[in-house]
Amino acid sequence: MRNSEGARAEDEDASVSPRDAEVVRAIEEEGLSVFTFDGLRRITGAHPETLSRSLERLEDVGMVVRSPDGYSVTDKAKESFSLRAPFDATRRVPILQTFLPYEASAGTIAAALKGRWFDTMRWVGMSEGEEGFVMKWVTEDGSALISAKFSGDQLEVDAKVAKDSDLPKAVRAAHQLMGRISRLYTSPRPGARPALMRISYSTPYAM
């Protein structure tokens, strides 16, 4: 019986297609703990039905797990596809860097922004580690991926674009995100002073 199950597992692994492998790499490449279906669809450009079938196959063979927050890859997938460490800095364009307001909590920001769609940005996913939070959104047309990294009292926003002409969209999306974060610190108390954020802007370079 055990041999039969082992043979079945090998057959299931063999059934994973190159397209399925691309889905796994898309999840792992961004280094997120969870990745939403809509985020995957926009980033990979896959048809919803095609992506759904890929995810079902990957779940069946134990390479992807699903939770209420989204999808994540397993150790089995990392070994099978020889996945590399994420965050290849040469592929990303720094947009801006700022200090968070005094006594601001990155956790509070994450809770307020998690799963939110706003303006032209659609939620992708997030991860949390010793250095802080990373949260990501993708533009409606999938042309720009925006990353916000909260580390200590600092916030860094960068973007990944498919081509140079998409960079203006990424910059606009990054500023939309900053506007949303800034509004979180606008005090509703009459006469209260709004929290200040010191922002430094990076000059986007050619990809």
In Å, what is the CA distance from 17 to each residue of 25, 58, 139? 13, 10, 27
The predicted-structure confidence for 44-101, as pLDDT tens digits, reads as follows 888 889 999 999 999 998 989 998 888 888 888 777 766 544 434 336 789 988 887 7
- DSSP result, 139-201: ETTSSEEEEEEEETTEEEEEEEESSGGGHHHHHHHHHHHHHHHHHHT---STTPPPPP--EEE
Tokens of 161: 């674009």
Domains and CATH numbers, the chain: 2-80 (1.10.10.10), 90-201 (3.30.310)
pLDDT above 50 (res 202): yes
Top mean-pLDDT range of 58-67, 108-117, 125-134: 58-67
The predicted-structure confidence for 173-183, as pLDDT tens digits, reads as follows 888 888 888 87
In Å, what is the CA distance from 59 to each residue of 14, 24, 86, 134, 151? 14, 11, 22, 25, 33
**Is residue 160 a contact partner of residue 65, using CB atoms and an 8 Å limit?**
no
The helix (run of H) or strand (run of E) holding residue 55 is: helix 48-60
The predicted-structure confidence for 7-53, as pLDDT tens digits, reads as follows 344 444 556 788 888 888 877 777 777 888 988 888 888 888 999 99
Separation of CA 203 from chain center: 23
pLDDT band per the 50, 70, 90 thresholds, residue 157: very high
CA dist 20 and 119 (Å) reads 31
